Amino acid sequence: MTGGTIGGPGSGTGGIGGGAHTEALLRDIRLQLLDGGLHGCLLVRDLHTGDELGIEADTHLPSASLVKVPLALATVERIRRGELDGATVLEVPPGRVSTPGPTGLSRFRHPARIAIDDLLYLSTCLSDGTAADALFELTPPAQVAGILHELGIRGIAVRHCVGELFDTPVERFDADQVHLAHALAIDAGTSGRGHRVPQLDTTRANTGSARTYVDLLQALWTPSKIHPDVAERLRDLMAHNVLRHRLTPDFSSDASVWSSKTGTLLNLRHEIGVVEHSDGQSFAIAVLTESLVPASAQPGADALMAQAARSLRDHLRQL
């Protein structure tokens, strides 16, 4: 794994206080990630100064469930415009997914009647794929992408609904053979980031980079083309994310607020979020990873992601 980012947004190179110490830190984090079986793409940005530190921050990876944040943004923006009514109740068919992972309506066995506002909560806070696809029926991927462009959000590709994420090799193997699906995910890629598994092919999947997702977070937490009421709703949704096993242990405390969204698909483990400290400092963080270990449960990888991100945040905070 190569590549590091030091300096202000988009700088790619340059000197942020620390010099050799900063370079040594980035080198150590790269080695720690590799030793833990992770290819990591990270970026941490101080939302007040613009200073940032990253590793392969411009590498695009499939977004997995991170795409539910752009989806929520587009949906709330359409509610603000009067094109949708958050109180409108929809009948949502059950997902009936039986494999481990999916939550909420995705595991329901019977239809449910749910308001658009509540689908937003399920999609964003519980990462419910069936709820997300009900929202995608109202605002298809191409329209979501168009709204992102209108709001000045660049570099996040929204190409398909979330239901396609359920149809992976995992569903074709017995529980004791899931490692084979992960082995395929690891080994079947190409040098140009194509892949035999469509959901992992960056030319066909929903994609983004650590930098593009940090840019999105910055637009939600600081003044931008996004309407303040829309940004506030998105921040509130991310603050109530219930999936808190990955970066949360290193960023949530009595003296800070951590708002986030996770994304998981085969060997991909992602999380984006903003930590707001009681002293007024705020940092946008994106950690996108590919595991090189053919296993589904890897709590050590989650912990390593958090440690790497915290090390970058701690270094920026001391400058």
> Can you give the pLDDT of all 319 residues of the chain as single tens digits?
335 666 554 433 333 545 889 999 999 999 999 999 999 999 999 999 999 999 999 999 999 999 999 999 999 999 999 999 999 999 999 988 776 778 899 889 999 999 999 999 999 999 999 999 999 999 999 999 999 999 999 999 999 998 876 665 555 444 544 544 445 555 545 455 555 566 778 888 999 999 999 999 999 999 999 999 999 999 999 999 999 999 999 999 999 999 999 999 888 999 999 999 999 999 999 999 998 877 677 888 999 999 999 999 999 998 7
Asked if 43 contacts 291 with a C-beta cutoff of 8 angstroms, the reply is no
**Within the chain, where are the H helices?**
20-35, 68-81, 116-125, 129-138, 141-150, 178-187, 210-221, 228-239, 248-251, 299-317
CA distance 91 to 84: 16
What contacts 48, CB < 8 A, 6 or more positions away?
280, 281, 282
Check residue 299 and give its pLDDT.
87
CA distance 300 to 33: 11
Check residue 195 and give its pLDDT.
54
Residue 31's SS3 state is helix
Cβ density class 31-45: b for 16+ within 10 Å, e for less: eebeebbbbbbbbbb
CA distance 283 to 114: 34
Check residue 182 and give its pLDDT.
46
Q: How many CB atoms are closer than 10 A to CB 245?
A: 12
Asked if 261 contacts 286 with a C-beta cutoff of 8 angstroms, the reply is no
Check residue 38 and give its pLDDT.
94
| Rg value, the chain, Cα | 19
CA angle 194, 243, 230 (to 5 degrees): 85
Check residue 14 and give its pLDDT.
33
CA distance 117 to 226: 19
CA distance 286 to 290: 14
Q: What is the largest CA-CA distance in the chain?
A: 59
